[in-house]
Structure 1
């Protein structure tokens, strides 16, 4: 199995989606700063329970707890928006709403990774990474 992926964010989202389908509450994946920030935003939004970087040899990994033991997952669907072959960008005025505000869009801005609502408040646009509901 190769640890290298052409789209690491899509790989992360697929691992989370597969863990949900298999009723697993934890998933482990290779670490990157973007994936760690993305997981932190999902934790702050309440879609993930916990995300932590575990230092290991030869490289660190990201351990994501999707939901606590005995609880139900809060993620219904998770979808990659911007892809390597087709990047999607949105300005502050054009930030999409997910499921009439019941979902979250995560955006990569010049000030870091944040939710679409936070980006809109700060009048920032950026690359649409994913949507979760």
Structure 2
């Protein structure tokens, strides 16, 4: 999902289609709540469950399948001095880095958005 979004942003597309899953829906909800995507919805007339995301900002993937990046509470980075967000996968679900820091938990650092 993150690679598709990054490629669509570089190609200056307005929307991107992504296969749908619970984790991707959680990431899309965080991005929408923070104002980093305009909207996401389920794409109709697709063979498999697919979501359409309307883009606005840049993102950088941190954790990859070959190299997972885990951070503790005190290691959660501030993106661009607080102007961006970090998305962290924790034991309590996907959340922003600031929310994870406030709750005192760490997890897998999924991506940066600015």
Which of the pair is proportionally richer in strand? 2
User: Which moves more between the two structures, 20-29 or 42-51?
Assistant: 20-29
Encode CA deviations 1:4-47: one digit per residue, 9 max, x unaligned: xxxxxxxx122222222232211111111111111111111111
2:11 to 22, 27, 37: 22
Q: Please give the TM-score of this superposition, normalised by the length of structure 2.
A: 0.90
Q: Please give the TM-score of this superposition, normalised by the length of structure 1.
A: 0.78
Q: Which has the larger radius of gyration?
A: 1
Give 4+ residue runs of structure 1 displaced > 6 Å after superposition. Answer: none
Contact kept in structure 2, 1:78 and 1:130, CA below 8 Å: yes
2:71 to 66, 71, 90: 90
Encode CA deviations 1:59-95: one digit per residue, 9 max, x unaligned: 21011111xxxxxx3x1x3111111111111111211
* Larger relative contact order (CA 8 Å, sep ≥ 6): 2
Match of 1:44 in 2: 33
Contact kept in structure 1, 2:6 and 2:60, CA below 8 Å: no
Task: Give unmatched runs, 5+ long, in structure 2.
Answer: none
Q: CA-atom RMSD, angstroms?
A: 1.5
